[in-house]
Structure 1
Amino acid sequence: MNRKITIIIPVYNSAKFLHKTLKAVDEQRKESQWDLELVLVEDGSPDISFEVVEKLAREYNYIKGVKLSRNFGHQIAVRTGLSYATGDYIAIIDDDLQDPPSLLPRFFDQLEQGYEVVYGIRKKRKEDRLKKMAYTSFYRILSSISDTKIPLDSGDFCVMTKNVKDKMLTLNEQNPYLRGIRAWVGFKQIGLEYERSGRIEGESGYSLKKLVKIAKDGIFSFSSIPLQIISILGNLGLLISIVFTLFTIFRYFNNEIEVAGYTTIIIMIMFFSSILLISLGIIGEYIYRIYNEVRNRPHTIIEKTIN
């Protein structure tokens, strides 16, 4: 295959095992005879990950190292890697070998056959049952409410052509949801099933807070359903108000109105206050995202680069 290959790996807290990932990449490079460019984006790790990247760059001359000034998040780190990629074919994998480089030749074969994007579909996951249930539920909810058809059970692990990479980078969003953007740009795409491996070492850098942020980015960036929920809640509140008004009038003409009515008033106040707060929260989320876009800050601050 006479194509230049770029592999992008976001690096976070992986100083202890990054050399194992690089060894696996290099073994596959030799076996497949790739003209390889490896972009390692160190996302503000609290450990010495970038020092390890610097050391590995002296051992493997095809490494490009990028150190971000702080932790900007996985999606931003991957997007930064895309901006440094110069290959004809670009792959995105994790730093923990859950998406092993040995899978890539099968994915690149599909690009050779005319596809522009090949994404991985996770057949089995090694997380606990609760996490697996949460992931499965989220992907299906997002798919059902999204204005863009986002493939089920597909993560960031994928390969794409330079053309698709360039088109994705034209979407200058402050809170990018890359698998959604990948689906939005279109072109000829196909998914390949694979069994996702367990981490080789350490714990995932995805905390609950980060997972929730990615979920919100997916929902608010690719669906208008949250705004429609406000209308539904408003109509529901109006319907309940009408029913309650008719009930009150009926009781009035039957001389059943009690002077107290404390419980009823409290229930109605709590109900409508809840609807108002939920609605304001949803509107506030969209306003905050609009504000982020208008500020037009750079996605990242690059502290240092190698090669």
Structure 2
Amino acid sequence: MNRKITLVIPVYRSAKFLHKTIKAVDDQRKESNWDLEVILVEDGSPDNSFEIVEKLSKEYSYIKGIKLSRNFGHQIAVKTGLHYATGDYIAIIDDDLQDPPSLLPRFFSQLDMGYEVAYGVRKKRKEGKIKKLAYNSFYRLLDSISETKIPLDSGDFCVMTKNVKDKMLTLNEQNPYLRGIRAWVGFKQIGLEYERSGRIEGESGYSLKKLIKIAKDGIFSFSSLPLQIISLLGNFGLFISVVFTLFTVIRYFSDEIEVAGYTTIIIMMLFFNSILLISLGIIGEYIYRIYNEVRNRPYTIIEKTINT
């Protein structure tokens, strides 16, 4: 059966090499004889990426271009692209060929076999040691605290059926963590190992700030552990208070109470104030996210589209 294929590709700072990515996609299209649709979502890139998208859309008729009014972030860009995807099978890949289109036939074959989702599991990464350590630590932390089983070392690179895509889009979250949502909706899924390539050119658009935001989205969207930590801190603080009270009472009846006690008081005040501030920060994070949801703002603004 000839199924329509959609590739969703977020575009950011890729004006210099986007044509190489599309060339690789087109080569695979010809080899696999795809009925193809490519959705390029330009996420408020500071370079002239959208001009390149416009040129490519004239050269390749199956390209649809979407320009967001500003940088809303990778996850929002992908979610926007999914809304425009009309294929029977949908793939999410990056614009820098770290997830080569040549891998896709292997992934699509799993959908032909009855799976609803086939996601990539990164066997090797081409980042520095510190960054790899941070990624590995985060994925294992999230796996240990998440109420939804999110596969280890899996990113956004995946293929899915239209059915799964439609179900994912029913979750209209302002701060989506798509690989978590993909796991949450369920269905028959399989992970396939692959060796992730290095970027063909340029530097990653993921700054430390953006990486921290994605990590927070994953933790706060799929775990209640931060709230449980508040209870643990409260119980720990209560335990310290009881022990210190007993210690003080014993000293009182032993006539060991001194007027001096400034250091002890300061230490106790700093300890409990720290617990209060940590607790307020965690509660504030949840309140802010609730506030974002109840405002019911659109999660993105589209400035311009091509061929949609």
User: What amino acid is aligned across from residue 29 of structure 2 in structure 1?
Assistant: R
Please give the secondary structure, in 1, of the residue aligned with 2:141.
Answer: helix
Q: Is residue 31 of structure 1 aligned with residue 31 of structure 2?
A: yes
1:251 offset after TM fit, Å? Answer: 0.8
Partner Cα distance (2:67, 2:44) in 1 = 7
Partner of 2:152: 152
Partner Cα distance (1:292, 1:276) in 2 = 24
Partner of 1:120: 120
Q: Is residue 74 of structure 1 aligned with residue 74 of structure 2?
A: yes
Partner Cα distance (2:204, 2:251) in 1 = 60
1:302 offset after TM fit, Å? Answer: 0.5
Please give the secondary structure, in 2, of the residue aligned with 1:257.
Answer: coil
1:260 offset after TM fit, Å? Answer: 1.3
Partner Cα distance (1:264, 1:252) in 2 = 15
TM-score, with structure 2 as normaliser:
0.99
Q: Deviation digits for residues 82-122 of structure 1, max 9, x if unmatched?
A: 00000000000000000000000000000000000000000
In structure 2, list runs of 5 or more residues that go unmatched.
none
Partner Cα distance (2:40, 2:300) in 1 = 15
Partner of 2:249: 249
Partner of 1:189: 189
Partner Cα distance (1:146, 1:297) in 2 = 27
1:203 offset after TM fit, Å? Answer: 0.2
1:253 offset after TM fit, Å? Answer: 1.1
Partner of 2:163: 163
Q: Is residue 205 of structure 1 aligned with residue 183 of structure 2?
A: no
Partner of 1:4: 4
Q: Is residue 83 of structure 1 aligned with residue 98 of structure 2?
A: no
1:10 offset after TM fit, Å? Answer: 0.0
Partner Cα distance (1:20, 1:299) in 2 = 30
Please give the secondary structure, in 1, of the residue aligned with 2:25.
Answer: helix
Q: Is residue 172 of structure 1 aligned with residue 172 of structure 2?
A: yes
Q: Deviation digits for residues 51-70 of structure 1, max 9, x if unmatched?
A: 00000000000000000000
User: What amino acid is aligned across from residue 268 of structure 1 in structure 2?
Assistant: M
Identical pairs, percent: 86
User: What amino acid is aligned across from residue 57 of structure 1 in structure 2?
Assistant: S
The RMSD of aligned alpha carbons is 0.4
Partner of 1:299: 299
1:155 offset after TM fit, Å? Answer: 0.1
User: What amino acid is aligned across from residue 25 of structure 2 in structure 1?
Assistant: V
Partner of 2:227: 227
User: What amino acid is aligned across from residue 38 of structure 2 in structure 1?
Assistant: L
1:20 offset after TM fit, Å? Answer: 0.4
Partner Cα distance (2:124, 2:301) in 1 = 36
Partner Cα distance (2:104, 2:306) in 1 = 25
Please give the secondary structure, in 2, of the residue aligned with 1:193.
Answer: strand
Partner of 1:139: 139
Please give the secondary structure, in 1, of the residue aligned with 2:37.
Answer: strand
Partner of 1:271: 271
Partner Cα distance (1:61, 1:256) in 2 = 87
Partner of 2:238: 238
Partner of 2:44: 44
Partner Cα distance (1:187, 1:239) in 2 = 45
Partner Cα distance (2:32, 2:112) in 1 = 14
Partner Cα distance (1:300, 1:242) in 2 = 51
Q: Deviation digits for residues 206-259 of structure 1, max 9, x if unmatched?
A: 000000000000000000000000000000000000000000111111111110
Partner Cα distance (1:161, 1:28) in 2 = 19
Partner of 2:109: 109
Partner Cα distance (2:41, 2:156) in 1 = 15
Partner Cα distance (1:147, 1:194) in 2 = 26
User: What amino acid is aligned across from residue 204 of structure 1 in structure 2?
Assistant: S
Q: Deviation digits for residues 132-190 of structure 1, max 9, x if unmatched?
A: 00000000000010000000000000000000000000000000000000000000000
Partner of 2:99: 99
Please give the secondary structure, in 2, of the residue aligned with 1:248.
Answer: helix
Partner Cα distance (1:306, 1:137) in 2 = 40
Please give the secondary structure, in 2, of the residue aligned with 1:8.
Answer: strand
1:31 offset after TM fit, Å? Answer: 0.2
Partner Cα distance (2:88, 2:187) in 1 = 16
Alignment length, in residue pairs?
A: 307
TM-score, with structure 1 as normaliser:
1.00
Partner Cα distance (1:6, 1:59) in 2 = 18
